[in-house]
């Protein structure tokens, strides 16, 4: 049973578009919500993370929006580039463990 539900499974955007990936959770004991980026054949790498008492965090072209009352958070990729094409995983941290969403494969067309 997945503790973090992620959607969509995949999406395609044109260069400059804004792909949006959504995640939802139930367990209010989670204390951090990181996003990881994975390129084919590689291990994931931390992209950005947010605490549940913050509503938005930006790092470069990546923005996390967090809605604590709805228990949802999302990743926006501003001005997306072909190099952003990858699989993105949301996650939630608690008790020494990370629970990952199923992943979203983003394709940015030139």
Partner 1 sequence: DGGITQSPKYLFRKEGQNVTLSCEQNLNHDAMYWYRQDPGQGLRLIYYSQIVNDFQKGDIAEGYSVSREKKESFPLTVTSAQKNPTAFYLCASSIRAGRYEQYFGPGTRLTVT
Which residues lie near partner 1 (CB under 8 A)?
2, 6, 9, 32, 34, 41-46, 49, 89, 91, 93, 95-98, 100-103
If the CB atoms of residues 6 and 85 are measured against partner 1, the closer one turns out to be 6
User: CB of 33: closest distance to partner 1 in angstroms?
Assistant: 8
User: CB of 23: closest distance to partner 1 in angstroms?
Assistant: 11
If the CB atoms of residues 77 and 91 are measured against partner 1, the closer one turns out to be 91
If the CB atoms of residues 78 and 98 are measured against partner 1, the closer one turns out to be 98
Task: Give the C-alpha distances (Å, rounded to integers) separating 42 from 36, 37, 45, 92, 102.
Answer: 12, 10, 9, 21, 16
If the CB atoms of residues 17 and 65 are measured against partner 1, the closer one turns out to be 65
């Amino acid at each position: 049973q997945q503790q973090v539900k992620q959607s969509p499974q995949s999406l395609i955007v044109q260069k400059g578009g804004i792909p949006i990936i959504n995640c939802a959770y139930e367990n209010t004991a989670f204390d951090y919500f990181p996003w990881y980026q994975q390129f084919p054949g590689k291990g994931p790498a931390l992209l950005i993370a947010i605490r549940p008492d913050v509503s938005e965090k930006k790092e470069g072209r990546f923005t996390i929006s967090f809605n604590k009352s709805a228990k949802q958070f999302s990743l926006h990729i501003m001005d997306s580039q072909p190099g952003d094409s990858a699989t993105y995983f949301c996650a939630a941290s608690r008790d020494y463990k990370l629970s990952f969403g199923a992943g979203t494969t983003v394709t940015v067309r030139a």
